[in-house]
Every structure is written in structure tokens, then in C-alpha cells.
Amino acid sequence: MSNIIYAIQSKVDNRIYVGFTKDLNRRLKEHYQGKTKSTKGFRPWILIYQEKAPDRASARKREKYLKSGIGKEFLKSL
């Protein structure tokens, strides 16, 4: 199972949350149900971006990039 980097956007205030996981469906369910502390107060969320990474190190690197200013601008342009 490969690592998946994803971005979700709050329908409340348009904030973007970026993360990575091996099980995207499980992780999105946790966000949608309010089981994640950092996203709980900004539900509902919609998935706006996902991509596969070959390993954990490259997934972490890509996640870090997407959390940066230029990465967030890229996500907002989608």
C-alpha cells in the first residue's frame, strides 16, 4: 500500500489541511466524523487534492511542501 498525500478544505472558512496516510478512506472518515483534533471545529470538509508517493520519506517531503506558502497557493489555485 502506497502513501497518499491529501488536502481537504473546510466548507466553513476555506482553510486547507494537508496530511498523508496509507489509508485515505479511513483518514477522511476520521476528519469527517470530527475524530481529528486539528480539523474537528471546521467541519464539513471536502477532498480537494490527492497524490501517491512511493515511500514515507517522499510523502513527508511533499506534505511539507504543500503546507508551505507556495504549496498552499498551488492548492488554492485548483
pLDDT of residue 1: 77
CA-derived radius of gyration, the chain? 12
> What is the pTM assigned to this prediction?
0.95
Best CA proximity match to 17, nearest among 32, 52, 2 = 32
**Domain locations along the chain:** 3-76
For residue 54, is the peptide bond before it cis, meaning its omega torsion is within 30 degrees of 0? no
Could you tell me which CATH class the domain 3-76 is placed in?
Answer: alpha beta
Q: CA-CA distance, 61 to 36, in Å (whole number)? A: 22
Tens of pLDDT, residues 8-48: 999 999 999 999 999 999 999 999 999 999 999 999 999 99
Question: Residue 52: which pLDDT band, with cuts at 50, 70 and 90?
Answer: very high
How many Cα atoms occupy the beta-carbon half-sphere of 56 within 13 Å?
2
Cα 12 from Cα 23, distance rounded (Å) = 25
